[in-house]
Amino acid sequence: MNTIRKLIIFSFCILFMSINISCEDTEDIEDQVNCVKYKVHNNNPIAHMSIWDGGDTPVIAINDYETTFYTKSYSTELIVTCKEDKKATITIQLFVNNKFIREVSGTTPVELHYRLK
C-alpha cells in the first residue's frame, strides 16, 4: 500500500511540474519581440509600387524600398503591387532578427506571408 501511495504522489508531482513548465514557455513566446526587416526591389526604376503592410493605406515607393520594425505579433505579411507596369519583376526579401528567412519574386501582386512564432 505504501508503494502505491508513493507512486500516486510521484505522478502528481510530475504532472504539476509539466504544467508549470508549459505555462512558462507560453509566456516567453508571447513576450518575444522580433526584429522584422523587408527589402523590396522593382526592376522597373520609374514605376511606382504600392506596398501593403497591414495598414489602411499603402506605402508608395519607386525602385527600392526597405523597412524595419519590432513586433510581438505571431505572423507578418507584405503585399506589393505595381499598376504602372504589370510585367515588372518585384522581389521581396524577409529578414527576422538579422537572419535571412525568405525571398519571393514575381509579377504583380507579390505576397510574402511568414509565421514568426
Residues 90, 51 contacting (CB under 8 angstroms): no
% of the chain at pLDDT higher than 90:
68
Between 1 and 92, name the one with better pLDDT.
Answer: 92
Q: What pTM does this model have? A: 0.74
Mean pLDDT for the chain overall: 87
Residues 63, 83 contacting (CB under 8 angstroms): no
Average pLDDT (14-21) is 59
Q: How many domains is the chain partitioned into structurally?
A: 2
Q: Are residues 48 and 103 located together in one domain of the fold?
A: yes
Q: Are residues 56 and 41 located together in one domain of the fold?
A: yes
> Largest Cα–Cα distance of the chain, in whole Å?
84
Residue 9 belongs to what domain range?
A: 1-31
Give 117's pLDDT tier (boundaries 50, 70, 90).
Answer: confident
Q: Are residues 111 and 55 located together in one domain of the fold?
A: yes
Interatomic CA distance for residues 10 and 51, integer angstroms: 57
Q: Residue 68: give its domain's CATH number.
A: 2.60.40
36-55: pLDDT as tens digits: 999 999 999 999 999 998 88
Q: Are residues 62 and 88 located together in one domain of the fold?
A: yes
Residues 38, 96 contacting (CB under 8 angstroms): no
Q: Are residues 83 and 44 located together in one domain of the fold?
A: yes
Q: Are residues 16 and 57 located together in one domain of the fold?
A: no
pLDDT at 21 over 80: no
pLDDT value at position 102? 96
Give the number of C-alpha atoms closer than 13 A to the C-alpha of residue 60, restricted to the C-beta side: 6
Interatomic CA distance for residues 65 and 49, integer angstroms: 9
What sign does the dihedral 29-52-61-40 (CA atoms) show?
positive
